[in-house]
Amino acid sequence: MPQRNPTLFFFILFISAVLIIVVSKFNLLNLATGVVQNVFAPAQTTLRNIFVKDESSAKQENLELASKLVEQQKLISDNKALKDQFQTVKVNSTYLIPAKIVGSPSFVPGLSVPEEFIINLGTEDGVKAGQAVVYKDNLVGIIKKANNSFSKVILVSASSFSLTAKTLSDSASGVARGKGGGQIIFENVLLSQRIAKDDLVVSRGSINQEGEGTAPNLIIGKIVSVNKAPSSLFQSAKIMPLIDFHALSTIFVVVKQ
């Protein structure tokens, strides 16, 4: 008999949890979740800052140089194409919203690389699923899910990430696919196209009618090795992101292109 009460209690809680799942599917808990997230956000940010080190100056300089290289290459191609101004390098800064990273759930400092970020911007700030997240012309990831006050960003190196991309020097097209553990593979590149070590891989651009999506020429990473077999249809390359994801604390959401 004494076992009955806890069992009943378990079933009450279990059914309540199921009801919460159903209710949350209809976005009826947005207000409550927003309040909870806002309450916990300062503590999350503080804790995250304890585990995250500041980005070194050398790394910063490297990012600046990569950014300048993209800009320079773009200027050359722009000159060649004269009035072809569709492919602009910079994302219009008026459409960038700074976001604080409040959590990186799939991350163990020193042992793994983050695959997701939770940022303090939500639908109330104009953030929607599918929008690009950048840091100094580098593509950080894509918004996967957004609620009222917070959003989940899936990083370029996450295993569920993929995006059409091209090399900066020869415009060799392919698909950049996250492999987890901070690695990205540039695959489905035709054998006839030239890809080489140290080439920068940038986004090809996938903006929809509403002006949302990924802008072209955002840096995904640098090629560290090329895998080319004459018998196969395609070649692939291993890309290393230029950003140290775990050192980031502020990133930018591109709300419109």
Partner 1 sequence: MIFAFPLILIALLLEASALSLPLTLVTIVTLSFFYNQRQVLFLAAFFGILLDILLLQTIGISAIFFLIAVFLLFLYKRKIEDSKQVVFIINLITAVLYALIIKGTVSFFEPLTVAIFGLAFFVILTKFKTLKNKNNNLSFNV
- Name the site residues for partner 1 (rule: CB under 8 A): 5-7, 9-10, 13-14, 16-21, 24-25, 29, 33, 36-37, 40, 43-45, 47-48, 50-52, 102-109, 111-112, 118, 145, 147, 150-152, 159
Min separation Cβ 2 and partner 1, Å? 10
Tokens of 133: 């997240």
Min separation Cβ 151 and partner 1, Å? 7
Min separation Cβ 108 and partner 1, Å? 6
Min separation Cβ 98 and partner 1, Å? 19
Min separation Cβ 190 and partner 1, Å? 32
Q: Indicate the residue among 145 and 228 with the shorter CB distance to partner 1.
A: 145
Tokens of 10: 């378990």
Q: What is the DSSP letter of 40?
A: H
The candidate with the shortest Cα–Cα distance to 146, out of 130, 163, 135, is 130
Mapping DSSP to helix (H, G, I), strand (E, B) and coil, where does residue 108 land? coil
Min separation Cβ 161 and partner 1, Å? 14
Q: Indicate the residue among 148 and 257 with the shorter CB distance to partner 1.
A: 148
**H or E element at residue 11:** helix 4-25
Which ranges constitute the DSSP H helices of the chain? 4-25, 30-51, 57-80
Min separation Cβ 183 and partner 1, Å? 15
Q: Indicate the residue among 219 and 253 with the shorter CB distance to partner 1.
A: 253
Cα(24)–Cα(5) distance, integer angstroms: 28
Q: Indicate the residue among 73 and 159 with the shorter CB distance to partner 1.
A: 159
Distances (CA, A) of 225 to 99, 138, 153, 173, 243: 33, 20, 27, 16, 18
Q: Indicate the residue among 117 and 135 with the shorter CB distance to partner 1.
A: 117
**H or E element at residue 50:** helix 30-51
Cα(5)–Cα(88) distance, integer angstroms: 66
Q: Indicate the residue among 19 and 196 with the shorter CB distance to partner 1.
A: 19
Written as one letter, the residue type at 244 is D
CB 179 within 8 A of CB 157: yes
Cα(173)–Cα(163) distance, integer angstroms: 11
Q: Indicate the residue among 43 and 191 with the shorter CB distance to partner 1.
A: 43
